[in-house]
Amino acid sequence: MLVINAGPNDGHRPPFEIDGGVMVPPSEVPERVPAILRGLQGMAGVRVEEVELVEPTEMTVLHAPEYVDFLRETCAELRAARRSDGEAALFPSVFPYGPGLRARGRKAQIGEYCFDTYTPLMAGTFDAALRMASAALRAADCVAAGGETVVYAVGRPPGHHAERARFGGYSYLNGTALAAHRLSARGPGAVLDVDVHHGNGTQHLFYDRADVRTASIHGDPAGLFPYFSGFADETGTGPGLGANRNFPLPPGTDDRVYQPALESALEWLAHDRPAFLVVAIGFDAHAGDPIGGFALSTGYFRHIGAMLRQFGLPTVVVQEGGYGLDVVGECAAAFASGMRSC
């Protein structure tokens, strides 16, 4: 298995999150990446390559150009205005409440482009997000070239919550969706999101498209982030009607409860005989994750990998969530071991 390493991206280290008006320690930290790589690098057959950055303009095949410009320019301004007492972190404080968005100035624009208070902009945020998106695109290119059957893009921040022109859920640029879009030139595609949180950004970006089927297995949004998407009746619109499926599951879901949803999702994704598979992998569904609320075992991630191996498609794996630093490496190793005979 080839691993594309986007790096821990220390330049994007949020000092805190704001949850219900309270500052709490950040969950999405640079240490996630070394922890995952430690689990993978000890395995036979795993090769690691460093990421090659793509141009920011490559993001605009799915993300709005003005949104990409906002992220890049705001982070550049924060870099130029670095304070002597530490890194500045820009959080939204006002959100749009009516039609006809005409935001001017960074304070208004960040409220227009961001949908939560967990996801700040910092001097190194755009570079970190671009590196992770670049890793996902490189993984797609390697699979498309035919020399690799499975390529795993490892890095942070995650991306599956990023929509066309909105960031949140620790996500800024949607590497999972960008990889699937890149591969869609080769035929019908399938995206499976097994992060514990619904991949609202990926759903949003493909919601009106029939060429890429998207399935997400996640905690019921009635009580889990992102709250406002991921319900079972969201099935697509226009040409994409019927090409999106959500499998919301209750808090405390364990291996036994998860299995029927995984089987159903894979059966549904196989319906159109896709040419490729993109997997948004999140280890926050593990029982030891501090913010997930599921109870999957480490060994079950091996089972997920084995089922994807049996799916038999060229596969790109993109790292999304997973915040228990003491378990993510073991989860990654278990998942990779399930897939390594691909």
Catalytic residue list: 161
SS3 for 59? Answer: helix
Contact 331, 294 (CB under 8 A): no
User: Which pair of tokens denotes residue 3?
Assistant: 């691993």
Closest CA to 68 of 54, 49, 47: 54
Strand ranges in the chain using DSSP code E only, listed in sequence order: 2-7, 17-19, 22-24, 47-50, 150-155, 189-193, 212-219, 244-249, 276-281, 315-319
The two counts, helices (H) then strands (E), for the chain are 9, 10
Contact 155, 197 (CB under 8 A): no
Contact 73, 90 (CB under 8 A): no
User: Which pair of tokens denotes residue 329?
Assistant: 């490496």
